[in-house]
Amino acid sequence: MHYSYIFKRNAVDLYHQGLWPDTPDGISTENFRNTIRGWVRIEESCGPYALCHKEHNKEWSPEERYALVARVLAGESLKSVAYS
């Protein structure tokens, strides 16, 4: 299931308040809450815009590719580079 950026932001905000949004139909409450916890971790490590949908099939220039590889070689995790 795909969720909009606004939905994710609202869910994360409620989580920080100690509340949970209503679980959508077709997903278990446990899985939905685990998904929200994942969004919280993504936001904490990479910022709120990491919850936005990314452009698919982006064309990367050689300079952009080099910058991404350099970040990983400098010790940044693959996941954090991928989410940025």
Residue ranges of domains in the chain: 5-46, 57-83
Is the model's pLDDT at 4 over the cut of 80? Answer: yes
Structure tokens at 76: 């940044």
Q: What is the pLDDT of residue 81?
A: 85
Give 42-54 pLDDT, tens digit per residue.
999 888 888 888 7
Q: What is the pLDDT of residue 56?
A: 72
Q: What is the spatial distance between Cα 70 and Cα 57, in angstroms, rounded to a whole number?
A: 21
Q: What is the spatial distance between Cα 19 and Cα 42, in angstroms, rounded to a whole number?
A: 19
More confident residue, 25 or 55: 25
Cα 28–chain centre separation: 20
Q: What is the pLDDT of residue 22?
A: 92
Residue 68: count other Cβ atoms within 10 Å of its Cβ: 16
DSSP, res 18: T
What is the pLDDT of the chain when averaged over all its residues? 90
